[in-house]
Amino acid sequence: MTSSRREMLQLAGAGLASAAILPFTKSAEAQLPEVANSPPVTIVQRGINRELDVINIDLLESQARGVLSDGVYVFIATGSGEQWTLRENRRAFGDYALNPHPMGGIVRDRIDTSITILGERLPHPIFVSPMGSYGLVHPEAEAATARGMAKSGGMLCVSSASTIAMEEIARASATSKWFQMYLDNDAGLSREILQRARDAGFKAIILTVDAIGQSSSDQYADMGRNRPWLPYGNFPPGRATSFKTDLSWRDFDMVRNITGLPVVIKGVTRAEDAAAAVRAGAAAIQVSNHGGRSSDGSPAGITVLPRIVDAVHGAVPIIFDSGIRRGMDIAQVLALGANAVAVGRPVWWSLTLGGEGGISGLMDYFQRELIESMLHLGVNNIASLGREHVLLLNRRLAAESN
């Protein structure tokens, strides 16, 4: 066990440590001590591990809300400011519809959802987006997520703000993993963390560029930002983080030179920024508005996706996040030109309710619905999805695209 993991368990108290090793049967709750001047808050300490049969994400969220404290739930569920972007991420999927194509002779059991991205063959295009503080909802945090993803073979993207150290997460499963980096103002510390990620076996680095001034929702602020602040497992204990905001392409070059790994630029919503990333040597682009958590008032991810696809011209893979809730969402995004998708909040809800079994159940749900959509669209592999498989319903967007 790493020192940061031990410190996290000590901070959370003996109840959390014991919950992590008890049989996965019952749920329990305990009180965290005050951390960083935050009021004490109850977090769920469920040692549970059970397969979930996910019906839809709304029901999953409702069930998770029933076992999370108000502070933790609101922190996870809400976006930035008045949450216009958070709502728009979902509403904008209604600007498109799938365009079914029957009589194509497609056999459901032979539909191939596999993809190849940055040289790795994956059984499906559904990633876990990088998120921090998983310990808020499950005592085994990112390690349980890694084991759950291993069952589906999907890509796990690990945040530098993870509850437990990257090395422990890397050892938790043999599945493919990428490491996401928030650069610190201390350049030496950033280099050290990046070198650790390389040495731990992560296959790529995700450089997040859209959280340079991330704010909370009005609702969360009104509650007094009422959730415990767990230590970050990848940063020195007791040290306050100071994330760098004055990012430039020099920072991108530093990340690539330090690690020698492919670098994914996450947080792109403008076509010209996507083109600049390609010119700079980015290995992939992640179209993202941080799930509505960074800058309220930003457009929905699916609204900007087609322009970015056109600007990139297939030079690098495109990953999409922000608003994915169903398999038909995934089919729409892939048909519009993305190569893979990443999901965020649904991972929190499934981890809360089922641990690693919840994560594998979530992946089963998304893949099952994706296959159903592909069947009706008349395609038997991901590469066959194209813009002819979606209808643009929004007249203004249709006019702009012509």
Dist. CA 284–CA 316, nearest whole Å:
5
Dist. CA 129–CA 267, nearest whole Å:
12
| Residue of 101, 290, 313, 389 marked catalytic | 290
Q: What is the dihedral of CA 154, 157, 134, 243, to 10 degrees?
A: -170
**376 is annotated as an active-site residue:** no
- Look at residues 140, 128, 355, 350 and name the one whose alpha carbon lies nearest to residue 233: 140
Question: Do residues 286 and 321 make contact, with C-beta atoms less than 8 angstroms apart?
Answer: yes
Give how far Cα 149 sits from Cα of 126, 174, 313, 326, 371, Å: 10, 10, 31, 18, 18
Known catalytic residues?
A: 290
